[in-house]
Structure 1
Amino acid sequence: MSAMFCPCAVSEWQWISEERRMRYEVMDTIIEPYGRLEVLSKLEVVQLLNNSSGGLYQLFRSCSLAVLNCDADLDDGRLLLERYRDFEIHVRQVERGIKLELLNAPAGAFVDGQMIRGIHEHLFSVLRDIVFTHDEINHNPNIDLESSGGITNAVFYILRNAKVLDLIREPRMVVCWGGHAISRNEYDYSKQVGYEMGLRGLDICTGCGPGAMKGPMKGATIGHAKQRNHNGLYLGITEPGIIAAEAPNPIVNNLTIFPDIEKRLEAFVRAGHGVVVFAGGVGTAEEILYLLGILLHPDNSEMPFPLVMTGPESARAYFAQIDDFIGKTLGVEAQQKYQVIINDPVLVAQRMRAGVKQVKEHRKQLGDAYYFNWSLTIAHAFQQPFAPVHENVRNLALHKNQQPWLLAANLRRVFSALVAGNVKDEGIRAIEEYGDFEIHGDAEIMEPVDALLTAFVAQGRMKMSAESYRPCYRIV
C-alpha cells in the first residue's frame, strides 16, 4: 500500500489508501485531544472498544462518523453508515493520555491531509459526552431518570460537564431552529438574522447541522468580529439519533450530545434565553410544539420567553400555514406566545435583544440563574423518551378533550416519529419492515395535521433529496 506522510500537529502518521478511493475518498489518521478529554479509565477504554451489544463502540462510531461527514449533501443516517461501512475509530491509551485512531474516515474532514480543527474538537466532544452519559447519568443510582426532577438534573449535569454553563455568564443565548433542507434564499436570510444578532452581542445556539442551523452561526461570526467580540459562543446541541442527518458544522465551538431528543429539547430551553424559528419541516414543527406546550403550561404563564418566527418573503406562506395549524389545534392562546416577522432581520434582532433583557430582569427578581432556567416548569409528558415505533404512534391521544399543553406534547410525538422515519437509521428500517406510520385522531386534529404535512412534502421540506421523497406516514 502506498502511503503519503503529512507533517501535522495533531497526528503522527496519515495516509490515503488508493484502493479505497474508488467512490468516496477516505483517510487514516491518529489524533490527540485539545483539552476536551485527555484521559480515560481502562474500563472506559474497554467499553469503547467492545463491539458487542453491551459496549459503547457502535454509538461512538456512528456519532464520530457523522461529525466527520459535515457539509455533505446527505441526511440519511442509514445511507451514511452504509457509504462508510469500513470506517473504524479506536481509542488508544498512551503514556500521557489517549489518542484516537481513525481508519477510512471521510476525506472531506481534512484539508491538505490535516483534520479541520473544529471537526477535531467535535470528535473529542463526542467521546466526552458518550462516556459521561454512560457512566455518570445512565448508571448513576443518584439520578432518577423516571422523575421530572431527575431528568432536569441530568440535562444540567451534561451541560455542566461540557462547560457550557461556564460560558453563559449573561443572558444572551438565542436558540435558532429551522430546517436543514432549505432554499439558498432562506439560508442567506438566516445568515443575515445571525449577523444582526451578532452585532447586538447575542450568542447563537442551534441543532448544529446545515441549513438554518448553520446560517445564523455563520452570520453571527461576522457580527461578533465587527464588534471585536472574540468570545462568541456558537453552541451546538444534538443527539445520536439525529446527528447523522444533521452533522455538526465546524463553526460550532461547543458541541454537546444528549442521549435522546427529549433531553436535547430541554437543554435548548433551559440554556437559551429566547428562540428564533426559521422555515423548516417536521423537525422544526416538533420543536415549535415542544416550546409552545411548555409555554402553555399554567405554571409558566408569567414566564418571559421571546419567540419569533421569521423568514424572507418566500417563507410568508410557510409561516401562515404554521400559524393556521397552531390556531386550529392549540388555539388562540398558543398563537399569542410568538411573533411572526417577515423579511426584516434587523427587527428580529431588536425584538430578541429586548426580549432577552426582559428575561434577565425576570431572572433577577426570582433569583434564578442566568445560565440555566430552573424556574421553568417542564411537565413529564415532554421529558419521557418517546420510542417512535408503530404501536406508540398509533396509540397517541390526538383529540381536544385534554389540556392544550398536553395536546401539544402528543402532537410533538407525531412529528418526532416522522423525523425518525425520514432520516434516522432505526426509523427508516422500521418503515421498510412494517410499513408507514398510521396516525389516528379526531378529524378536527387530523385535518390540519394532514394539511401541514402535505404542504411540507409539496415544498420539499422533508429531506434534501426532495424529488425522491416518499412519505412515511398515513393519516387514518
Structure 2
Amino acid sequence: MTHSIDKLIIRPEGTLEILSLQEAEQLSTTSDNGLHELVRQCALAVLSTGAETDETLELLDAHRDFDIEVTVRGRGVQIILTNPPQTALVDGDLMAGIKHHLFAVLRDLVYTRNDILLSKRFDLSSSEGITNAVFHILRNARMLIPNRLPNITVCWGGHSISREEYEYSKYTGYELGLRGLDVCTGCGPGVMKGPMKGAGVGHHKQRISDGRFIGLTEPGIIAAEPPNPVVTELCILPDIEKRLEAFLRLGHGIIIFPGGVGTLEEILYLISILQHPDNRHIALPVILTGPASAEDWFEEVFRFLDTTLGLHGRAHLNYIPDNPIEVAREMRLAMETVRQDRRNSSDAYYFNWRLHIEPELQRPFEPTHENMAALKLSRDLPTHLLAAELRKAFSGIVAGNVKAPWMQEIRKKGPYQIKGDPAILKALDRLLRHIIKSGRMKIGGEYTPCYEIVSE
C-alpha cells in the first residue's frame, strides 16, 4: 500500500547548490520582482513529466494545491515541495531525472532574471545584445562544450502525432545515434521525444557513453510540453525567440518531422534566416522527412510555402521521404561540411556566431489581439521578411492554443483576427484546416480555433 507525500524537502545538486538569500527570496516571493508563480508553473510542468495533456490551464487547475518554496539554510539550499504530483515520486523520493530538470528550471529562471534581464549588461534592443544574452544563458547552463566536433542534430516536429510518425522519428534517431550524432529537441513529447529514445539505443550499441540529449524550452510553453524523461541537459530560455535562436546557434544540422503550428513557426523562422543574403554561404543542413503516411502533410506545407513565398522559399530544404537510414547518412556527411565551414571561418564549433538573424526575428512578439490583426501578410515584402511575419502568425496561434496568459485573453476577447493578402490568407486557411483535420493541433479532444481568417 502506498501513501501520498504531501510535503517533500530536497537539496539541489550540481549548478544550484549555492544561492544567495536574495535569489532564494526571488524564487519564493509573489511580489512584482518575485518569480514564485513562474517557478511554480514551470516546476509543476517538470513534475508532471509523462502527463498525456497539452492543456496548460487544465494542468494548473488539477494541481491548485501544489506549491514550491526555496530557502537557504545553514548547509545550503532547500527546496520544499507541497503536494507534488505523486507520479514524480518513487518510494517517497523524486526520480533523479526529474530532480535534475527541476534544478535546471530554478537555475535558469534566477540567472535569466538577474544576470540577463535586470543587469543591464546586455542591450536587448540590439541584435548583438540578444545573441550575447543567448550565449550567456547557454554557457551558464553548461550547454557549450569546446573541443567537440560538430554533431548536434536539432529535431523539430509535432507533439500531437500518430504512433507511426512517432516510431519513424525514433527509428531516425536510432540511425543518428549509430553514427555518433547527438540530439537536441524542444524537450516535450512526440517528435521531441522519439529521436532521443532512438539515439539512446544507437549510442548504447556503439558504446558511446558521453552522448547528449539536449532540451530547449521556455516558460510559456513548458507547461504544455513538459520535459520528456530522456532529456539529460535542459535549458529554459526566457522567450520563444531566444529559444529558436538557441537551436540554431547550438545545433549543427536540422531534421524536421511532421507537426502542427509550432513546427510551421520553426520552418518559417528557419526560411527567413536562410533566405537572408548574409547567410548565403553558411553551412546549415536541413532535412525534412517522415513516413509515407505523412506525405499529404508535406504536400500541404510545400503548397503553402510555394503560394506565399514562391518556389525559392524552400530552396534550402532537402526532402527525404520515408528513409531514416538515408536521412542519417546525409546528416552525418553534412557534419563534415559544417566542420570545414566553421574551421575555414574560424567560427566556434559550439556556437554559430556568424549566422545573421534579423532583429525582427529576435525581439519577443507579443500575440495581443491588436498585434495579430496588424501583421503585414503581403507578397510585396522580400521573402525573408514575409516569412518572418508568417512566423508571427503561427507563433500567435501556438500561444492561443497552449500558453495560459494568451488563452485567458482569448476567453475574454474572442479569437484572434488574422488579415492580409487574400492569396496568403487562402493558403493559410487551407493549411490550418489540414492541421486541424489531421489532429495535429491538440493531443486530445475537439479543437476550437483561437483565430479567425478575415478577408478584407
Question: Common fold, TM-score beyond 0.5?
Answer: yes
- Structure 1 residue 217 corresponds to structure 2 residue 205: no
Supply the distance in 1 between the matched residues of 2:432 and 2:328 (Cα, whole angstroms): 30
Q: Which residue of the partner structure matches residue 89 of structure 2?
A: 110
Supply the distance in 2 between the matched residues of 1:409 and 1:32 (Cα, whole angstroms): 43
Supply the distance in 1 between the matched residues of 2:390 and 2:164 (Cα, whole angstroms): 29
The SS at the match of 1:325 is: helix
Show CA shifts across 1:246-295 (max 9, x none): 10012111100000000000000000001101111000000010011100
Supply the distance in 2 between the matched residues of 1:394 and 1:202 (Cα, whole angstroms): 42
Q: Which residue of the partner structure matches residue 46 of structure 2?
A: 67
Kindly tell me: are residues 167 and 321 of structure 1, through their superposed partners in 2, closer, same or farther at Cα, counting changes over 3 Å? farther
Report the identity percentage: 51
Q: If the length of structure 2 is used for normalisation, what is the TM-score? A: 0.98
Supply the distance in 2 between the matched residues of 1:45 and 1:264 (Cα, whole angstroms): 25
The SS at the match of 1:166 is: coil
Supply the distance in 2 between the matched residues of 1:389 and 1:222 (Cα, whole angstroms): 44
User: Partner amino acid for 1:436?
Assistant: P
Show CA shifts across 1:93-126 (max 9, x none): 1222112110111111122333111111000000
Deviation at 1:92, TM superposition (A): 2.2
Supply the distance in 2 between the matched residues of 1:233 and 1:167 (Cα, whole angstroms): 14
Q: What does residue range 436-475 of structure 1 map to in structure 2 within 5 Å?
A: 436-465=415-444, 467-475=445-453
- Whether the 8 Å contact between 2:20 and 2:72 is mirrored in structure 1 is no
Show CA shifts across 1:394-415 (max 9, x none): 0000001111000011000000
Q: Which residue of the partner structure matches residue 368 of structure 1?
A: 347
Q: What does residue range 154-169 of structure 1 map to in structure 2 within 5 Å?
A: 154-166=133-145, 169=148
Supply the distance in 1 between the matched residues of 2:10 and 2:68 (Cα, whole angstroms): 11
The SS at the match of 2:287 is: strand
Kindly tell me: are residues 386 and 168 of structure 1, through their superposed partners in 2, closer, same or farther at Cα, counting changes over 3 Å? farther
How many aligned positions are there?
454
Structure 1 residue runs of 4 or more that deviate by more than 3 Å after TM superposition? none
User: Which of the residues 404, 407, 425 maps onto 1:425?
Assistant: 404
Supply the distance in 2 between the matched residues of 1:444 and 1:209 (Cα, whole angstroms): 34
The SS at the match of 1:165 is: coil
Q: What does residue range 139-288 of structure 1 map to in structure 2 within 5 Å?
A: 139-166=118-145, 169-288=148-267
User: Partner amino acid for 2:136?
Assistant: Y
User: Partner amino acid for 1:354?
Assistant: L
Listed as ranges, the gaps of 5+ residues in structure 1 are 5-14, 18-26
Q: If the length of structure 1 is used for normalisation, what is the TM-score? A: 0.94
The SS at the match of 1:363 is: helix
The SS at the match of 1:463 is: coil
- Structure 1 residue 95 corresponds to structure 2 residue 63: no
User: Which of the residues 299, 305, 316 maps onto 2:284?
Assistant: 305
Supply the distance in 1 between the matched residues of 2:142 and 2:148 (Cα, whole angstroms): 12
- Structure 1 residue 16 corresponds to structure 2 residue 4: yes
Supply the distance in 1 between the matched residues of 2:7 and 2:265 (Cα, whole angstroms): 38
Q: Which residue of the partner structure matches residue 30 of structure 2?
A: 51
Supply the distance in 2 between the matched residues of 1:208 and 1:298 (Cα, whole angstroms): 31
Supply the distance in 1 between the matched residues of 2:434 and 2:384 (Cα, whole angstroms): 24
Q: Which residue of the partner structure matches residue 83 of structure 1?
A: 62
The SS at the match of 1:175 is: strand
- Whether the 8 Å contact between 1:36 and 1:121 is mirrored in structure 2 is no
User: Partner amino acid for 2:210?
Assistant: N
Deviation at 1:341, TM superposition (A): 1.4
- Whether the 8 Å contact between 2:115 and 2:121 is mirrored in structure 1 is no
Deviation at 1:140, TM superposition (A): 1.6
The SS at the match of 2:289 is: strand
Supply the distance in 2 between the matched residues of 1:408 and 1:373 (Cα, whole angstroms): 21
Supply the distance in 1 between the matched residues of 2:82 and 2:31 (Cα, whole angstroms): 19
User: Which of the residues 108, 116, 125 maps onto 1:137?
Assistant: 116
Deviation at 1:168, TM superposition (A): 7.2
410-419 or 84-93: bigger deviation:
84-93
The SS at the match of 1:373 is: coil
The SS at the match of 2:83 is: strand
Q: Which residue of the partner structure matches residue 10 of structure 1?
A: none
How big is the alpha-carbon RMSD for the aligned residues of Structure 1 and Structure 2? Answer: 1.3
Supply the distance in 2 between the matched residues of 1:127 and 1:276 (Cα, whole angstroms): 30
Show CA shifts across 1:173-218 (max 9, x none): 0000011111111101000000000000100000000000000000
Q: Which residue of the partner structure matches residue 8 of structure 1?
A: none
- Whether the 8 Å contact between 1:16 and 1:28 is mirrored in structure 2 is no
- Whether the 8 Å contact between 2:25 and 2:70 is mirrored in structure 1 is no
User: Partner amino acid for 2:406?
Assistant: G
- Structure 1 residue 415 corresponds to structure 2 residue 391: no
Supply the distance in 2 between the matched residues of 1:431 and 1:407 (Cα, whole angstroms): 25
The SS at the match of 2:77 is: strand
Supply the distance in 1 between the matched residues of 2:55 and 2:367 (Cα, whole angstroms): 17
Supply the distance in 1 between the matched residues of 2:319 and 2:265 (Cα, whole angstroms): 18
Show CA shifts across 1:290-337 (max 9, x none): 011100000001112111111111111101111111111112222211
The SS at the match of 1:308 is: strand
Supply the distance in 1 between the matched residues of 2:121 and 2:23 (Cα, whole angstroms): 20
Q: What does residue range 311-460 of structure 1 map to in structure 2 within 5 Å?
A: 311-460=290-439
User: Partner amino acid for 1:470?
Assistant: T
The SS at the match of 2:255 is: strand
- Whether the 8 Å contact between 2:40 and 2:67 is mirrored in structure 1 is yes
Supply the distance in 1 between the matched residues of 2:147 and 2:96 (Cα, whole angstroms): 23
Listed as ranges, the gaps of 5+ residues in structure 2 are none
User: Which of the residues 12, 26, 33 maps onto 1:33?
Assistant: 12
Show CA shifts across 1:435-463 (max 9, x none): 01100000121111111001001001000
- Whether the 8 Å contact between 1:201 and 1:224 is mirrored in structure 2 is yes
